[in-house]
Chains A and B, each alone.
Chain A
Amino acid sequence: MNRPVLNNRNDLAGNSVLRVFRHQLLARFLPLGNYRGGAGLKCLVIFSVLHYVGRPLFRVLVRFERQLHCLYKLRERFSRKEDNKDSEEQGE
């Protein structure tokens, strides 16, 4: 049956993020090849959420974009402060 190259989850047809997830789990038990550090569990979880729940999630989030933007700014400021603190502790 015909299908588009990019599916409705914004994922590759025939090579979804869940397939990558399964494959990377298998790679933990069986030497499958060199993936130069692999996909990373956190990235895999984020991509799985984005591809599978992203559409309804963004439908909600887009309405609170301004408020979220303030939160992102706040987070950035805190992470920058922590970075500066680390640098000072390391004497940089």
Chain B
Amino acid sequence: MKIYYSLDKLVAEGRRRSASLSVVSFDLFDTLLIRRIHDPDLVKLPVARYISCLAVQAGLNWSWNRVQKLRDAIEKEHRQKTGEQFEDREACYPRFMQETLAAIFGEKMAPSLLEQVTEYELATESTMLVPRTEFVAWLKELKGQGKRIFIMSDIYLPAAHLERLAERAGLMQYTEAVASSADTFLAKASGKAFPLLQEKYGLDKGAWLHVGDNPISDGLRPAEFGIQALVLHDSTEKWRKAIVKRYYNYGDGRPFWRGRCLQQLMMPLEAENEARHPLYVEGYNFFAPLIGSFVQRIAERCRELKIRKVFFFSREGWTFKKVWEAAVPALYPDGQLPAVEYLYVSRMALAGASCAYQGLTRTNADIAFLPLGNSDFRDVCRIFDLDYGPLTPHLQRHKLTPETTLSPHHAGYDPKNRLRFNEMLEDEEFQAAVRSQTRKFNDALQRYLDDFGFFAEDDAALVDIGWLGTIQRFLYEAVAHREDRPRCHGFLFCATRGIPYPTTPDNYIEGVLYDRNRFDLAGSSILYARDVFEEACRAPHPTLNRYRLTETGYELEFRRVDDATGQAEHVQDRHYTPLQEGILDGARRYGAASALLGYSLDDYKPWLNYLLTSKLAFPGTAEILALKHRHHLDDFHGGKKPLPQYAQSQQHLWDRSESVLRFNPLLRFRYFLRHIKDRLNE
């Protein structure tokens, strides 16, 4: 028996020896496969949570701690019983789990329950296992040389289960058979597994090499039997696990580390960890945990509120929906999740439709003048899809023209004109004309929503990136006249509430990562780079301009893509492709890691606060240059230039030049002090 402290050296020695050998057997766990987590027993916790959920569904009151305690007790009992007959105190998963489930569910136990729980346990175990690259390459060579390859393991999972794990890890193509101590209760630890395997497969022990990580089971015992043995004591692995262990343990006492532990478990290992585009890395390490915890929170709220359908608003909802599909099923394996739908909406398309019954309200007109590029009635008409020709007589009656400046941010502004404009909004004739012009958009919208089952639900979760909740506001106003409208529970990535939202029990918004209604300085760092988040999550399709009525129903009219703006969006899409890939790959790992930890957004929030502040308020210059979007389309924003004092006041940290970012040492500090002041003044 020889102990190796480096995998490369062990594999080199194995290659040298294998020329004269015909059989090579490997230990599975911590040899061929490594675990992302330091303690294999942690995989049992999500299984206990899963069983607890199933028990609750069956009307039984079993907390996950109680389930886990029962499983441990039954497993221990099984081991003791085995110890009476055999040298090895082994247990067999299907037997003790069957007994555990029977004790919990009693007569309510479905025949397929054991298989269902086993499948979940193996799937969870599988997400935590990674094949070691060097061993896979060596296995390939051994297979090519015609050697007989076996996998041996001392574990409670029977060989059939280990085969499923090895299959998912891509190892079964090289392996002749898998042997587990759970089937025979003859383990490597006592050395009895080796003669058993020799007898069963007619192996020549003089031409047999065993490789594993345990000096007794994989070193001493095979050597005693006359088999050559190589034992791996991999310092790199021990180092990696020592780090994971501390992140996990420190998270218990210091919630700050819980999010960091999550990220450590999300990390790709071995062959998964290949060199990637810098934007992919940002997507994986920065955006994925933020968006993952956002969708996890929405799923939690939907379960609390018994919401059965979630509508993701275009275009940022495209990424949110994909992250949901990648992460949420792993977090809630009991299947009690709402259906999801992607809804084509936009502020521009809904603005017109929102006027069909209520007319143009003063608040909605104020929203139109929020962007600095909008200055007059023509901008209002552009946003609300109105034709200002037929409305000109109404303007004239109120001593206004389409070109009259109505925004205080532009030259020629006279407050009297804004008062006249507000009076016009109270003019019933003007409102009748607005309603008549926008009715067709609303009718088309209702048909579209009908098609997607919007009115079939009593409660609907509406998901958007932010910021004022304008899309939900317009949508609700457009359908407010209908008796069958659902209660709209809005979940925004970040709610800035620049204009107060008309909150009612039937229609409200809730900022998940940041909400202006809660003082959260770190969370408000999102305000540094809202456009970056919009572009990072945006769907690769053009924005929706309007819903159009057709003879057969309705049609969605998208913005053209052949003009300069459309082409710029296309360039931006291509630029952020690696970023979005990183987000989605990260989301898959987020689901598995968060399910294992059993934490929620509240647990991750301190770390996410750090991520937001560190990356957005105190970013490195190279980070800003890499992450900053190239183009950003905002159709809501008009093209008119505001007065210089307003234009300058809008310059954010992320808009500063490279030289200023690089050579002005106190720049970020000053910006953050201003940020604190703004938040305190809000």
Seen from chain A, the residues whose Cβ lies within 8 Å of a Cβ on chain B are 1-6, 10, 12-15, 19-20, 23, 26, 30-40, 43, 46-47, 50-51, 54-55, 57-59, 61-63, 65
Q: Identify the closest chain A residue to B617 (Cβ).
A: A32
Q: Identify the closest chain A residue to B258 (Cβ).
A: A36
* A10-B245 Cα distance, complex, nearest whole Å: 13
* A57-B234 Cα distance, complex, nearest whole Å: 13
Chain A residue numbers with a CB within 8 Å of B238 are 58, 61-62
12 more A-B residue pairs beyond the given contacts A33-B523, A34-B521, A65-B233, with a C-beta to C-beta distance below 8 A: A3-B275, A5-B276, A10-B243, A19-B614, A23-B610, A33-B525, A33-B609, A40-B254, A50-B242, A50-B243, A54-B243, A62-B234
Seen from chain B, the residues whose Cβ lies within 8 Å of a Cβ on chain A are 5, 233-236, 238-240, 242-243, 246-247, 250, 254-257, 260, 263-264, 267-269, 273-278, 280-282, 284-286, 520-523, 525, 582, 605-606, 609-615, 617-618, 623, 669, 672, 676
The reply to whether B235 and A58 contact each other, CB–CB distance below 8 Å, is yes
The reply to whether B250 and A32 contact each other, CB–CB distance below 8 Å, is no
Distance in Å: Cβ of B274 to nearest Cβ of chain A: 6
12 pairs from A and B in contact (CB 8 Å cutoff): A4-B268, A4-B276, A6-B273, A14-B286, A15-B611, A33-B523, A33-B525, A35-B610, A38-B254, A57-B239, A58-B236, A62-B234
Chain A residue numbers with a CB within 8 Å of B246 are 43, 46-47, 50
The reply to whether B277 and A15 contact each other, CB–CB distance below 8 Å, is no
Chain B residue numbers with a CB within 8 Å of A1 are 278
Chain B residue numbers with a CB within 8 Å of A32 are 521-522, 613, 617, 672
The reply to whether B273 and A4 contact each other, CB–CB distance below 8 Å, is yes
* A37-B517 Cα distance, complex, nearest whole Å: 23
* A56-B260 Cα distance, complex, nearest whole Å: 23
Distance in Å: Cβ of B271 to nearest Cβ of chain A: 11
Chain B residue numbers with a CB within 8 Å of A57 are 239
Chain B residue numbers with a CB within 8 Å of A12 are 263-264, 267, 285
The reply to whether A63 and B5 contact each other, CB–CB distance below 8 Å, is yes
Chain A residue numbers with a CB within 8 Å of B669 are 30
The reply to whether B257 and A43 contact each other, CB–CB distance below 8 Å, is yes
Distance in Å: Cβ of B215 to nearest Cβ of chain A: 9
The reply to whether B243 and A5 contact each other, CB–CB distance below 8 Å, is no
* A12-B247 Cα distance, complex, nearest whole Å: 13
The reply to whether B235 and A43 contact each other, CB–CB distance below 8 Å, is no
Give which listed residue, A19, A46, A55, A65, contacts B239 with CB less than 8 A: A55
A-B complex: 7 closest residue pairs judged by Cβ atoms: A33-B522, A58-B239, A2-B275, A62-B235, A6-B267, A36-B606, A58-B235
The reply to whether A3 and B278 contact each other, CB–CB distance below 8 Å, is yes
Distance in Å: Cβ of B657 to nearest Cβ of chain A: 22
The reply to whether B520 and A34 contact each other, CB–CB distance below 8 Å, is yes
Distance in Å: Cβ of B608 to nearest Cβ of chain A: 10
The reply to whether A5 and B284 contact each other, CB–CB distance below 8 Å, is yes
**Contacts A32-B522, A33-B522, A34-B522 given; does A5 touch B609 at CB 8 Å:** no
Q: Identify the closest chain A residue to B672 (Cβ).
A: A30
The reply to whether A39 and B257 contact each other, CB–CB distance below 8 Å, is yes
Chain B residue numbers with a CB within 8 Å of A23 are 610, 613-614, 618
Chain A residue numbers with a CB within 8 Å of B618 are 23, 26
The reply to whether B606 and A34 contact each other, CB–CB distance below 8 Å, is yes
Distance in Å: Cβ of B79 to nearest Cβ of chain A: 23
* A36-B250 Cα distance, complex, nearest whole Å: 13
* A79-B675 Cα distance, complex, nearest whole Å: 47
Interface centre among A19, A40, A61, A62 (most CB of B within 10 A): A62
Q: Identify the closest chain A residue to B6 (Cβ).
A: A59
Q: Identify the closest chain B residue to A17 (Cβ).
A: B260
* A26-B666 Cα distance, complex, nearest whole Å: 13
Distance in Å: Cβ of A31 to nearest Cβ of chain B: 6
* A16-B268 Cα distance, complex, nearest whole Å: 16
Give which listed residue, A15, A43, A51, A65, contacts B285 with CB less than 8 A: A15
The reply to whether B281 and A3 contact each other, CB–CB distance below 8 Å, is yes
Chain A residue numbers with a CB within 8 Å of B521 are 31-34
